[in-house]
Structure formats: structure tokens, C-alpha cells
């Protein structure tokens, strides 16, 4: 099997797992799935929606079938930050990609968003982003950030440095500490990189889960040894980490490796004894509120599911997506990344080829493969070296569908749809803009505006026809859409039956 199909399979199935798992991420039961989607098991992409931004300033995100979340968005941010030789430009990643990601983030957790926001400080650098934040009455320290926000984005690092385990370990470590300071986040990310580095070398017919799990757990302290702590960047980071903590980073790192070894033993025994997936993930802490997003636990859950479904990868991803109560999007992304690296892209069903930015994922895979094979020709892809968080096209609401815009770091693009949603707070509204970029990525941007000339009081969503306009923007040509938008906005109220008729007509225009 060609390396290219494995690279493309890994990236695409990671994004597919993310997109499917995002739908189920906050669902608690099959009953809730049935109520929302008339199905108690998610196997296909769906149009769906979720509330974002809280009660007073929030909006409804209408999510197209196949859309991925922050897991894949940040993976692409890392991929664009990788240079020839497999080196990650973490200064560029932290100050440009990560900061500007905040404007189009979808589904990002509190830790990763806080870490991104903190990078705006002048004294913050990729290896000096120590911070804390409050959750209700509890203060969370960067050193305690052990979730999977690092692991979910490092697949490109493993692929770009395939065959070089030491380089994978060092590059993943350095990228992880931009946002996460606890060894669980760091070790989980490195473990995922190691797992990709191992599984991609197997032919599907010769893959053996016993050997795979054993290879990951063998001499784990030696495999994951912290060998690069004498570099100036890491030495300064360690000094700060240890300066205000009664514990030593190395000690916690070693204890985390012990935890990982024990969890891999659980996986090995569970596969051998055919224990049910729900029981295994429960043992890994994936259903526990305190540990469900753990950097180590979720990665090991993905490793377990990849081993269990090594001969039936599509079912494996579906199983990961429907383990309700776990961090389904990340676990399904890890499972997909591993199974894609094993089987390649040929196993992807047609129904899943509608995942967002399918062709762009191909381009990224080709770039990473060329880096790993030392044939990548460096081009100045990083469009700007200055953070332009407030200088991008969202500075003012003077936008229209079809308009060409520029956004650092993704470059030029065309606006595909615009939605202005009033908030519960009078005089404020959220501007939502979908953009298709020339490089191949598509994003939905959001920004809160305060302009009484546009909106003077809150309007209830069900009376505004806004949902219909968002739907129309996906099907109608720009000229037709403008006429339709003009008509809808003049209507004080539209009956449900008329809305349904409009929806049928719009769909037939595709």
C-alpha cells in the first residue's frame, strides 16, 4: 500500500471521526439522540445546531452536515506551522495560527481558548504561556491543564516525522506546552504520535493488536524519556514550571508514565478477554466528569478501539462516535487517525466523503508526506509574521455575500453566507460569516457587534426567518439569494407552512 493513501486515510478519518463525534459530544442518552435526530445511533453526517456563547450574548450555530470541530481546525493550524525537516514553528503557531483561530473556533474547550487568549500578552511566548483562570470558585493553573487539547492536534507532527520517534517526541512536547502544562496532556499527545508512528508501518492483513499494544507499553520510561530537557527553550520552561509548584515536573511526568503503562495493561487484558467497550472506557475514566477529557485516557481509548476494530474500521469509528457520555469527537478522531493510518483512504465510504474540506485534507497529507520524505520545497506559506487579530476583515460589519476578503493566516477567500443574529442583550448582535478560502479550507467566523443602527431590540429566532436564510445561503446563487433575503427581512411573521414550502423550493434549486 502506498504511503500516500495511508497519510490521506489518517487525516481524513480523523476529521470524519471528529465531525461525527461532534454531533454526539454532549448527548447523554439514545433517547436524546432519537428526539433530536429520529435515530438512536449516529452513523451519517447531519445538519444540526447548537447554542454558543451563553444566554445573554449567544447565538445559534447552524452546522452543515460533515462539519468538523476545533480538533481538526487546530490540527490544520499545526500542519501549516510545520517546516521542512519536520520542525514545528511554534512561535508562528502560537502567535498567528492559535490567536486568529479564536475568530473561527468551533467547539473549542475552555483551556485551549484561554491559552489562546493569553498568547496576546507581550511577554507570552510558545514556551512561556503560563496562566491561570477561574471556573466558578475554583482557580485552574496551566500546570494542571491535562486535557486532550494538545493530543488532538499533533497528528501532522507524527506524519511529518514518520520513522523518527525521538523527533516526534520532542516536537510534540514543544507544541503541547504552548497550551497545556500537565504531563497528562503532554504524555497523551506523545503517546498518540508514537501510536501513529507504529501502526502506519503495518499492512492491514498483518496487523496484530497484541504486538501493537505491547510495543507501545514496552520499556515505557525509556521510550518516553525526557531527553531534551537541556535545550534552552525547555530549560527556561522547566524553571518556571517548578518555581511555583511544590512538586517537580519530572516526578509527575514519571508518575504519568506509570499511569499510562497501567492503562495499556487494562486495554491489553480487555481485548484478550473481550470486555465490552463501555466497560473498558469506564475503567479508563472516560465517563467520569473529572477525567473524561484526559489527555492520556482519551488517547488510550482511541488506541483500544483501533485494536478492537482493526478488521472493521468503519464500525470502529461508529462505535467511538456513539459511546455517549465520553469525549466522543476527540476519541473518534483518535480512532479514525489510527485506523486510517492502518488501512488507508480506500475504506472511506462515499457517505463520509462529504466531510468538510475533503480536498484540502488531501493537500495537507501530500505536504506532510513530502516533508517526511525530505522532498518538501519550502515556500513562504506563513502569510504574515505579525498577529492581526483585530486587523482582519471582521473589524467592521461592512460585508456582503460574494465579497473577496483577506484573513491572516489563511489568505484570500470569498464570503459564502452571512447571518446576523440578535442577542438577548438589546443593541447587540452576533455576526456570523462563512468563508471559502483559496487554499481549500472553509471557516465560519463569529463576532459580537454593538450597533443600534442595525438592530435595536432582540428578535426571537423562530419569528425572524434567519434559519431559513442560512439554509438558503447553502443552495441559492448570490443574485437569487439577495432577492430572497430582501423579501424575508421585510416579513414580520412567516407561517410554519410557508417556511416549509420555501425550504422545499430552495432544496430543489441545488
Three cell numbers, residue 385 = 509574521
Residue 287 has what pLDDT? 96
Residue 507 has what pLDDT? 62
Give 239: exposed, middle or buried? Use CB within 10 Å, 0-12, 13-18, 19+: exposed
Q: Is 505 helix (H, G, I), strand (E, B) or coil?
A: helix
Sequence ranges of the domains in the chain: 3-25+69-372, 419-508
Residue 450 has what pLDDT? 85
Residue 465 has what pLDDT? 63
* Alpha-carbon dihedral 156, 161, 162, 166, rounded to 10 degrees: -120
Three cell numbers, residue 219 = 520499556
Contacts of 507 (CB under 8 A, 6+ apart): 475
Looking at the structure, give the CATH architecture of the domain made up of residues 3-25+69-372.
Orthogonal Bundle (1.10)
Radius of gyration of the chain (CA): 23
Please give the C-alpha separations between residue 308 and each of 27, 200, 244, 302, 494, in angstroms, as whole numbers. Answer: 24, 16, 43, 10, 51
Three cell numbers, residue 300 = 488510550
Residue 495 has what pLDDT? 76
Q: Are 25 and 332 in contact (CB under 8 A)?
A: no
Helix ranges restricted to H, 353-495 = 358-372, 461-464, 466-473, 478-490
> Which segments of 107-151 are extended strands (E)?
132-135, 138-141
Of 256, 252, 268, 172, give the one whose Cα is nearest residue 220: 256
- DSSP bridge pairs for 187: none
pLDDT per position in the chain (510 positions), as tens? Answer: 899 999 999 999 999 999 999 999 999 999 999 999 999 999 999 999 999 988 899 999 999 999 999 999 999 999 999 999 999 999 999 999 999 999 999 998 899 999 999 999 988 999 999 999 888 788 889 999 999 999 999 999 999 999 999 999 999 999 999 999 999 999 999 999 999 999 999 999 999 999 999 999 999 999 999 988 889 999 999 999 999 878 899 999 999 999 999 999 999 999 999 999 999 999 999 999 989 999 999 999 999 999 999 999 999 999 999 999 999 999 999 999 999 999 999 999 999 999 999 999 999 999 999 999 999 987 765 444 444 445 578 888 889 999 999 998 999 999 999 999 999 888 899 999 999 999 999 999 999 998 655 543 443 444 446 667 766 766 676 667 777 777 877 776 777 778 778 877 876 655
Residue 27 has what pLDDT? 94
Contacts of 438 (CB under 8 A, 6+ apart): 411, 412, 413
Amino acid at each position: 500500500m502506498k504511503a500516500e493513501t495511508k497519510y490521506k486515510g489518517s487525516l481524513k478519518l480523523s476529521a470524519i471521526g471528529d465531525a461525527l463525534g461532534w454531533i454526539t459530544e454532549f448527548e447523554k442518552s439514545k433517547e436524546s439522540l432519537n428526539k433530536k435526530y429520529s435515530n438512536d445511533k449516529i452513523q451519517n453526517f447531519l445538519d444540526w445546531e447548537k447554542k454558543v456563547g451563553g444566554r445573554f450574548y449567544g447565538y445559534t450555530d447552524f452546522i452543515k452536515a460533515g462539519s468538523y470541530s476545533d480538533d481538526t481546525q487546530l490540527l490544520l493550524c499545526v500542519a501549516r506551522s510545520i517546516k521542512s525537516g519536520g520542525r514545528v514553528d511554534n512561535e508562528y503557531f502560537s502567535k498567528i495560527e492559535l490567536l486568529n483561530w479564536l475568530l473561527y473556533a468551533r467547539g473549542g474547550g475552555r483551556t485551549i481558548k484561554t491559552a489562546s487568549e493569553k498568547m496576546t500578552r507581550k511577554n507570552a511566548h510558545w514556551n512561556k504561556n503560563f496562566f491561570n483562570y477561574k471556573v466558578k470558585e475554583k482557580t485552574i493553573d496551566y500546570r494542571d491543564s491535562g486535557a486532550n487539547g494538545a493530543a488532538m492536534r499533533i497528528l501532522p507532527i507524527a506524519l511529518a516525522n514518520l520513522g523518527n520517534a525521538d523527533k516526534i517526541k520532542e516536537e510534540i512536547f514543544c507544541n503541547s506546552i504552548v497550551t497545556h502544562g500537565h504531563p497528562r496532556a503532554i504524555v497523551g499527545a506523545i503517546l498518540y504520535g508514537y501510536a501513529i508512528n507504529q501502526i502506519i508501518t503495518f499492512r492491514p492483513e498483518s496487523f496484530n493488536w497484541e504486538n501493537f499494544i505491547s510495543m507501545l507499553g514496552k520499556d515505557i520510561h525509556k521510550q518516553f524519556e525526557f531527553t531534551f530537557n537541556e535545550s534552552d527553550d525547555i530549560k527556561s520552561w522547566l524553571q518556571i514550571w517548578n518555581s511555583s509548584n511544590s512538586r517537580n515536573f519530572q516526578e509527575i511526568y514519571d508518575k504519568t508514565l506509570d499511569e499510562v503503562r497501567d492503562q495499556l495493561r487494562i486495554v491489553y487484558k480487555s481485548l484478550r478477554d473481550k470486555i465490552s467497550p463501555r466497560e473498558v472506557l469506564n475503567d479508563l475514566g472516560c465517563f467520569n466528569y473529572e477525567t473524561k477529557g484526559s489527555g492520556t485516557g482519551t488517547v488510550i481509548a482511541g488506541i483500544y478501539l483501533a485494536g478492537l476494530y482493526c478488521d472493521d474500521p468503519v464500525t470502529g469509528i461508529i462505535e467511538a462516535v456513539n459511546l455517549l457520555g465520553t469525549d466522543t469527537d476527540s476519541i473518534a478522531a483518535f480512532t479514525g487517525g489510527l485506523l486510517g493510518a492502518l488501512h488507508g483512504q480506500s475504506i472511506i465510504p462515499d457517505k463520509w466523503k462529504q466531510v468538510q474540506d475533503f480536498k484540502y485534507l488531501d493537500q495537507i497529507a501530500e505536504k506532510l508526506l513530502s516533508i517526511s520524505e525530505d522532498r518538501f520545497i519550502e515556500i513562504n506559506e506563513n502569510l504574515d509574521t505579525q498577529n492581526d487579530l483585530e486587523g482582519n476583515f471582521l473589524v467592521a460589519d461592512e460585508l456582503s455575500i460574494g465579497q473577496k476578503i483577506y484573513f491572516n493566516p489563511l489568505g484570500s477567500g470569498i464570503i459564502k453566507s452571512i447571518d446576523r443574529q440578535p442577542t438577548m442583550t438589546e443593541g447587540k448582535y452576533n455576526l456570523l460569516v462563512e468563508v471559502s478560502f483559496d487554499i481549500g479550507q472553509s471557516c465560519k467566523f463569529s463576532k459580537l457587534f454593538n450597533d443600534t443602527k442595525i438592530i435595536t431590540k432582540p428578535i426571537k429566532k423562530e419569528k425572524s426567518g434567519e434559519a431559513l436564510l442560512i439554509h438558503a445561503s447553502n443552495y441559492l446563487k448570490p443574485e437569487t439569494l439577495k432577492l430572497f433575503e430582501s423579501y424575508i427581512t421585510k416579513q414580520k411573521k412567516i407561517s410554519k407552512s410557508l417556511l416549509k414550502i420555501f425550504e422545499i423550493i430552495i432544496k430543489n434549486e441545488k
